[in-house]
Chains A and B, each alone.
Chain A
């Protein structure tokens, strides 16, 4: 079932992607093709399959919590488009 432009637009909003009209049209056909191909997975007999297959043999080990060096303030802010004092600066998150 092809994805509608409305569905594509909803996914784009979830993905925080602003898409152009042309991209909406293109992605609705391309994603539909890819998902149709992915539907082959519905033919697999998953009765014998594990719930979620990790690829490590055991759980990932935890390391000891030893304090170490970290990035300086200057390094941390060095790639930001906008900073103020010791902070990253962003536009308002909430309308107040």
Chain B
């Protein structure tokens, strides 16, 4: 019973909840049992909120019962009673929010992030907080101070990052969906590595209020689920204006409707030559080209486009994001929150607390950002990177005059082995080459499964759209998922060995 429950999509589960065939308590129980049996090995969760989950499940079951009696409860959202997970960089009042860092190991936020609040108002059952690279800085989840998450398709491999905990939880059936965040690809790349669907919305589409800041002009709260249809339900809940985030847009969020008969006739997909590089894994390129053939059969037209400044996205991002991080993380001084290492003077305490609280990647990015912003180097690095960002954005503007969306790989390879890249930061950064441009341009992008490599590791494809084109991206991914089965594959529990629980929950 419980394993069949875990493979349900959100909309199917919502249907069964309404008819009374299953209860939210059943779903919650099944997810928690799956976590109990697999998470000792995968380590997707940093904190479980079991009591809160059952409280919310019981409440949802009561609302569902009211609905069956013809009474309209507080919410009738399709998310009512659905168990979801939250990346541990988004605040949930009263539950510790670590950001994968020793710095915030015991930090208990007294407020709830806007996106989490919206899901709670829609009746979500919150299962817990998921593992992340420290302060979302990383591409493998190995930078978590609390130990890495492992990929459910092969536990010797990384799930991607930084939203690797959310991706692994959704892929392994421990949650029906999750929130992640995407500053340079941190929703899309782990979605691709774990074989799920991940949407990074337009910058400003989802409020950042209550999200612990990393790169404020790049950070986006995103949706992770096992299908585009499910991601659309989460997106519909969290998108929209919030006066507490001054970069939040007031443009209304249209409801998602699939393309009639999944016909993509009249849609033009741009294929940028700059995203197919020598040295990328051949199986990744083959999977993308096969997926494009499917899109052609669905009626879309493939058009070559050029994004000539693509190669500058990586150097621009790795100056701008650290620059913003160095400013944002200046708040951790050991005074108001976070780890405190007492010292004789204020500055000494500031420095010793940060030395104790931050891990190597965070220190590296703070150092890099401080350098890029320092007097004498500002024009050579930060200002130049900002200008390059403008050119990258202009490339997209020009391409979107010819096409509706742009197709590309999510990453040049499938999931790496643990430890394979984390000794050399630059080689790690190079893996982000296809996801960074969307963040620099502020545009939405979706990653979804498009095949497997010869090691049976998932391969993801990415569609990028112009600002506010989320529904086009979701609709196209949904149409693709109506005629393919890649997204329906789940890693068997057989892939995941039992392991002693080395990471206490």
Please provide the chain B residues from 423 to 462 with a CB less than 8 Å away from any CB of chain A in the complex. 425-426, 429, 441-442
Q: Which residues of B contact A93 (CB under 8 A)?
A: 345-347
Are B309 and A44 neighbours in the complex by a CB distance under 8 Å? Answer: yes
Are A27 and B246 neighbours in the complex by a CB distance under 8 Å? Answer: no
A53 partner, pick from B107, B367, B389, beta carbons under 8 A: B389
Are B368 and A31 neighbours in the complex by a CB distance under 8 Å? Answer: yes
B311 at the interface (CB under 8 A from A): yes
B345 partner, pick from A27, A39, A57, A91, beta carbons under 8 A: A91
Residue picked from B110, B338, B342, B349, most chain A C-beta under 10 Å: B110
| Docked CA distance A12–B314 (Å) | 24
Please provide the chain A residues from 28 to 63 with a CB less than 8 Å away from any CB of chain B in the complex. 30-31, 33-35, 37-42, 44, 46, 48-57, 60-63
| Docked CA distance A93–B343 (Å) | 11
Are B315 and A38 neighbours in the complex by a CB distance under 8 Å? Answer: yes
Q: Which residues of A contact B389 (CB under 8 A)?
A: 53
Are B319 and A16 neighbours in the complex by a CB distance under 8 Å? Answer: no
B316 at the interface (CB under 8 A from A): yes
A50 partner, pick from B337, B366, B387, B467, beta carbons under 8 A: B387
Are A31 and B371 neighbours in the complex by a CB distance under 8 Å? Answer: yes
Against A, the Cβ 8 Å flags (1 = close, 0 = not) of B321-355 are: 00000100010011111101011111111111011
Against A, the Cβ 8 Å flags (1 = close, 0 = not) of B246-262 are: 11001000000000000
Q: Smallest distance from the beta carbon of B158 to chain A beta carbons, Å?
A: 20
| Docked CA distance A78–B366 (Å) | 27
Please provide the chain A residues from 1 to 30 with a CB less than 8 Å away from any CB of chain B in the complex. 3, 8, 11-12, 14-20, 23, 26-27, 30
Q: Which residues of B contact A38 (CB under 8 A)?
A: 315, 318-319, 381, 385
Residue picked from B204, B246, B336, B360, most chain A C-beta under 10 Å: B336
Q: Which residues of A contact B108 (CB under 8 A)?
A: 78-79
Q: Which residues of A contact B363 (CB under 8 A)?
A: 17, 19, 23, 27
Q: Chain A contact residues (Cβ within 8 angstroms of B): what range?
A: 35 or more
Are B315 and A41 neighbours in the complex by a CB distance under 8 Å? Answer: yes
B111 at the interface (CB under 8 A from A): yes
B276 at the interface (CB under 8 A from A): no
Q: Which residues of B contact A39 (CB under 8 A)?
A: 315
Are B355 and A18 neighbours in the complex by a CB distance under 8 Å? Answer: yes
Are A17 and B315 neighbours in the complex by a CB distance under 8 Å? Answer: no
B243 partner, pick from A34, A37, A63, A78, beta carbons under 8 A: A63
| Docked CA distance A39–B474 (Å) | 37
| Docked CA distance A56–B467 (Å) | 10
Q: Which residues of A contact B106 (CB under 8 A)?
A: 79
Are B348 and A91 neighbours in the complex by a CB distance under 8 Å? Answer: yes
Closest to B109 in A: A79
| Docked CA distance A82–B339 (Å) | 11
Q: Which residues of B contact A8 (CB under 8 A)?
A: 367
Against B, the Cβ 8 Å flags (1 = close, 0 = not) of A62-96 are: 11000000010001101111100000101111010
Closest to B93 in A: A75
Given the interface contacts A16-B347, A18-B354, does A55 sit within 8 Å of B203 by beta carbon? yes
B358 at the interface (CB under 8 A from A): yes
| Docked CA distance A49–B395 (Å) | 12
| Docked CA distance A47–B237 (Å) | 43
Are B346 and A92 neighbours in the complex by a CB distance under 8 Å? Answer: yes
B501 at the interface (CB under 8 A from A): no
B297 at the interface (CB under 8 A from A): no
B312 at the interface (CB under 8 A from A): yes
Given the interface contacts A11-B370, A44-B309, A49-B387, does A17 sit within 8 Å of B393 by beta carbon? no
| Docked CA distance A40–B333 (Å) | 34
Are A63 and B246 neighbours in the complex by a CB distance under 8 Å? Answer: yes
Against A, the Cβ 8 Å flags (1 = close, 0 = not) of B107-144 are: 11011000000000000000000000000000000000
Residue picked from A53, A60, A92, A93, most chain B C-beta under 10 Å: A53
B336 partner, pick from A18, A46, A57, A79, beta carbons under 8 A: A79
Q: Which residues of B contact A26 (CB under 8 A)?
A: 360
Are B349 and A51 neighbours in the complex by a CB distance under 8 Å? Answer: no
Given the interface contacts A37-B426, A38-B315, A61-B250, does A16 sit within 8 Å of B364 by beta carbon? no
Are A51 and B387 neighbours in the complex by a CB distance under 8 Å? Answer: yes
Q: Which residues of A contact B319 (CB under 8 A)?
A: 38, 41
Given the interface contacts A31-B368, A34-B368, does A16 sit within 8 Å of B330 by beta carbon? yes
Closest to B203 in A: A55
| Docked CA distance A27–B358 (Å) | 14
Q: Which residues of A contact B203 (CB under 8 A)?
A: 55-56
Residues of A near any B CB (own CB < 8 A): 3, 8, 11-12, 14-20, 23, 26-27, 30-31, 33-35, 37-42, 44, 46, 48-57, 60-63, 71, 75-76, 78-82, 88, 90-93, 95
Given contacts A31-B371, A34-B425, 18 further A-B contacts (CB under 8 A): A8-B367, A11-B374, A14-B374, A17-B354, A18-B352, A30-B426, A37-B318, A41-B315, A41-B385, A44-B391, A49-B387, A62-B246, A81-B340, A88-B335, A91-B343, A92-B344, A93-B345, A93-B347
Residues of B near any A CB (own CB < 8 A): 106-108, 110-111, 203-204, 217, 243, 246-247, 250, 309, 311-312, 314-316, 318-319, 326, 330, 333-338, 340, 342-352, 354-355, 358, 360, 363-364, 366-368, 370-371, 374, 380-381, 383-391, 393, 425-426, 429, 441-442, 467
